[in-house]
Amino acid sequence: MARKINNTKVSAPEKVEAAKKCDKAVDAEIKPDRQLKLLFVASECQPFVATGGLGDVMGSLPHTIKKVCDNCDVRVMLPLYGDIKQEYREQMTFLGYTNVELAWRNQYCGVFELVKDGVTYYFLDNEYYFKREGQYGYFDDGERYAFFSKAILSVLPLIGFIPTIIHANDWQTALVPVYLKTIFHDEYYRNIRTVFTIHNIAYQGKYDPAILGDVFGLGEQSRSILCYDGIINLMKGAIVCCDVLSTVSPTYAEEIKTPEYSYGLHYIIKQNAYKLKGVINGIDTKFYDPSSDESIFVKYDKNSVEGKIQNKIQLQQMLSLPVDRNIPVVSIITRLVDHKGIDLIIQSIDELMKNHLQLIILGKGDLRYEEILKNFESRYPNKIRAIIAFNQDLSRKIYAASDIYLMPSKSEPCGLAQMIASRYGAIPITRETGGLNDSIVDFGTGHGNGWTFKNYSARDFIYVVRNAVEVFHNHKEAWNDLRNIVFSVDFSWEKSAGEYLKIYHSLM
Ligand code: GLC
């Protein structure tokens, strides 16, 4: 059975290939099988491109699903950003191109494919939108990701794939469930179900209501889907249109129903709570493994902690801090933004500096935080390093060198750093919120794996850090036992991948 590929312009040999693939897909549609065909869509994915936790999750969840469900067909779609490395580009195959209409625009969209660990990755190419430095922060981000979302659905016939489920993530792909409900009425798309995951409700994709038609290409009849509080809110649109709404920890799933955590979306979250699930993230324990990590100074594991101490010594040398194996290295690796609790850290630094410790901060973000932290470094040159950068290589060196890892977040949908720190044998100190609450339990309970505090208060935070530093200096044996516990916690993805599989199957 031949199928017309709407809007698709491909060159001759590619056209034949695409048509063949398309026929296969239509056959699959006619004879539905029970195979789960999953398409993850997101604006970032390790190891190709990542600026934060979303990239980590996209880099590990799809291939864990494939690992635990061999029969599943797992694919991922990403923009082909200008800064994706040549080494990956060389592994890509060009599949063809189509034209994507977005309001009055008609834009080229090339499709490249790369297969890795049993997962197929597609990179959607449009140089005007994506051949830029970095990923976000451009005046036309709304248009760029509207294009990406529309392109995701538009290229499916070209690659001959009808997913059972499209799993979209955060505001950048929020328009996928919306377009599927409002524009893509063709039979080809009829049976596709959607899961939408909120990785951070603070970033919603808010735009002027005037651009609904002109940029997002939607008619007036769709206004009520996207509008919220008088403006266009892409995340709200996805919340309404998706079949299952999820977020990255059970505690955060409860928190976002309240005004304190919802950034204004609690009404709509509560209305849609019947389809809301909270599934905690895991980490890729191979990607983050001190026994094989090429970035760190000396490889080690929990049975060779002398290696960890060597990492501390070499990092102290590298950062020109006093070299001392007996001083605890306390670290923070984060985006310097409000919800990470940077103000709590700033309020606490003078008090913390009264203790015998070294504080290493790595991150970038709000200019005022960058400046304040740099200032602290000049006030305490022998105790503080504030490195204003996003540097994955250095972050691994810091995890490996650290004794204590701080995460006093005001809100934290899941948080991965507490898990990565644990993997590298740094004891986490976390605030009991979101995924931190679901992953780190206070040692005081008798079955803990870190130190925690509840109130967002500098006093409570300082109290726990002081206590940890005291144990480090004065109770060596207890310290080693606690570190061993932390080292042994299993934060791998397998269990949570099983939870996601249950969700996907419930939609089939
Ligand atoms: C966002 C959240 C973080 C979460 C990550 C992955 O970056 O802020 O808490 O771990 O997404 O889901």
Q: Got the DSSP string for 330-366?
A: EEEE--BSGGGTHHHHHHHHHHHTTSS-EEEEEE-B-
| Phi, psi dihedrals of residue 248, rounded to the nearest 5° | -90, 15
pLDDT at residue 8, as a whole number = 34
| Phi, psi dihedrals of residue 467, rounded to the nearest 5° | -60, -45
Residue-wise over 343-375: b if at least 16 C-beta within 10 A, else e? Answer: ebbbebbeebeebebbbbbbbbbeeebbebbee
Q: How many residues are present in the chain?
A: 508
Beta pairing, strands 73-79 & 119-125: parallel
Best residue among 46, 195, 248, 256 to mutate for probing ligand 1's pocket (most ligand atoms within 8 Å of CB) is 248
Residue with token string 């709000």: 366
Distance in Å, CA 424 to ligand 1 centroid: 19
Question: Which has the closest alpha carbon to 369: 394, 332, 403, 402?
Answer: 332
**Sequence-separated (6 or more) residues with CB below 8 Å from residue 293:** 299, 396, 400
Show the tokens assigned to 139. 């005046």
| CATH topology match: 36-282+494-506 vs 305-488 | yes
Distance in Å, CA 325 to ligand 1 centroid: 33
The structural domains of the chain, with segments of one domain joined by +, span 36-282+494-506, 305-488
Show the tokens assigned to 56. 């980590």
State the closest ligand 1 atom to the C-alpha of 413, by its place in the atom list counted from 1: 9
Distance in Å, CA 295 to ligand 1 centroid: 23
C-beta of 53 in contact with ligand 1 (< 6 A): yes
Beta pairing, strands 427-431 & 404-407: parallel
C-beta of 237 in contact with ligand 1 (< 6 A): no
Residue type, 319: L
Show the tokens assigned to 221. 């009849």
To 5 degrees, how large is the angle CA 150–CA 175–CA 172?
A: 95
CA-CA distance, 331 to 147, in Å (whole number)?
39
In terms of CATH, what superfamily is 305-488?
Answer: Glycogen Phosphorylase B; (3.40.50.2000)
Question: Which has the closest alpha carbon to 419: 67, 167, 68, 56?
Answer: 56
CA-CA distance, 104 to 114, in Å (whole number)?
32
What DSSP state is assigned to residue 155? T
C-beta of 248 in contact with ligand 1 (< 6 A): yes
pLDDT string in tens for the chain (508-residue length): 333 233 333 333 343 343 334 334 434 443 445 799 999 999 999 999 999 999 999 999 999 999 999 999 999 999 999 999 999 999 999 999 999 999 999 999 999 999 999 999 999 999 999 999 999 999 999 999 999 999 999 999 999 999 999 999 999 999 999 999 999 999 999 999 999 999 999 999 999 999 999 999 999 999 999 999 999 999 999 999 999 999 999 999 999 999 999 999 999 999 999 999 999 999 999 999 999 999 999 999 999 999 999 999 999 999 999 999 999 999 999 999 999 999 999 999 999 999 999 999 999 999 999 999 999 999 999 999 999 999 999 999 999 999 999 999 999 999 999 999 999 999 999 999 999 999 999 999 999 999 999 999 999 999 999 999 999 999 999 999 999 999 999 999 998 999 999 999 999 9
| Phi, psi dihedrals of residue 90, rounded to the nearest 5° | -65, -25
R_g (Cα) of the chain, nearest Å: 24
Q: Give the Å distances, CA to CA, from 476 to 142, 352, 402, 471.
A: 53, 21, 16, 7
| Phi, psi dihedrals of residue 46, rounded to the nearest 5° | -65, 150
State the closest ligand 1 atom to the C-alpha of 281, by its place in the atom list counted from 1: 12
Show the tokens assigned to 350. 């003078």
> Are 446 and 485 contacting, i.e. CB atoms less than 8 angstroms apart?
no
Distance in Å, CA 232 to ligand 1 centroid: 23
Q: How many CB atoms lie within 10 A of CB 342?
A: 26
C-beta of 414 in contact with ligand 1 (< 6 A): yes
pTM for the whole structure: 0.90
Distance in Å, CA 108 to ligand 1 centroid: 32
In this structure, which long-range contacts are made by residues 111-115, counting pairs with CB atoms below 8 Å and at least 24 apart in sequence? 111/155, 111/158, 111/159, 112/80, 113/159, 114/88
Distance in Å, CA 62 to ligand 1 centroid: 16
Q: What is the CATH number of domain 36-282+494-506?
A: 3.40.50.2000
Show the tokens assigned to 203. 């970033």
Distance in Å, CA 53 to ligand 1 centroid: 5
> Are 306 and 367 contacting, i.e. CB atoms less than 8 angstroms apart?
no
CA-CA distance, 98 to 9, in Å (whole number)?
5
Q: How many CB atoms lie within 10 A of CB 32?
A: 11
- Secondary structure element (H or E) that encloses residue 40, with its range: strand 37-41
C-beta of 281 in contact with ligand 1 (< 6 A): yes
C-beta of 50 in contact with ligand 1 (< 6 A): no
Show the tokens assigned to 155. 């290229």
C-beta of 413 in contact with ligand 1 (< 6 A): yes
CA dihedral defined by 94, 100, 106, 109, rounded to 10 degrees? -20
CA-CA distance, 299 to 317, in Å (whole number)?
17
CA-CA distance, 374 to 211, in Å (whole number)?
40
Best residue among 43, 167, 169, 414 to mutate for probing ligand 1's pocket (most ligand atoms within 8 Å of CB) is 414
Distance in Å, CA 199 to ligand 1 centroid: 5
> Are 194 and 223 contacting, i.e. CB atoms less than 8 angstroms apart?
no
Q: What number of CA atoms fall less than 13 Å from residue 241's CA on the CB side?
A: 29
Distance in Å, CA 188 to ligand 1 centroid: 33
* Closest Cα to atom 12 of ligand 1: 199
**Sequence-separated (6 or more) residues with CB below 8 Å from residue 11:** 96
Would you call 251 helix, strand, or coil by DSSP? helix
pLDDT at residue 33, as a whole number = 55
CA-CA distance, 125 to 208, in Å (whole number)?
27
Would you call 436 helix, strand, or coil by DSSP? helix
pLDDT at residue 134, as a whole number = 92
Give bridge partners of residue 282 from the DSSP assignment. none
* Closest Cα to atom 3 of ligand 1: 415
C-beta of 198 in contact with ligand 1 (< 6 A): no
Distance in Å, CA 407 to ligand 1 centroid: 13
* Closest Cα to atom 5 of ligand 1: 53
C-beta of 416 in contact with ligand 1 (< 6 A): yes
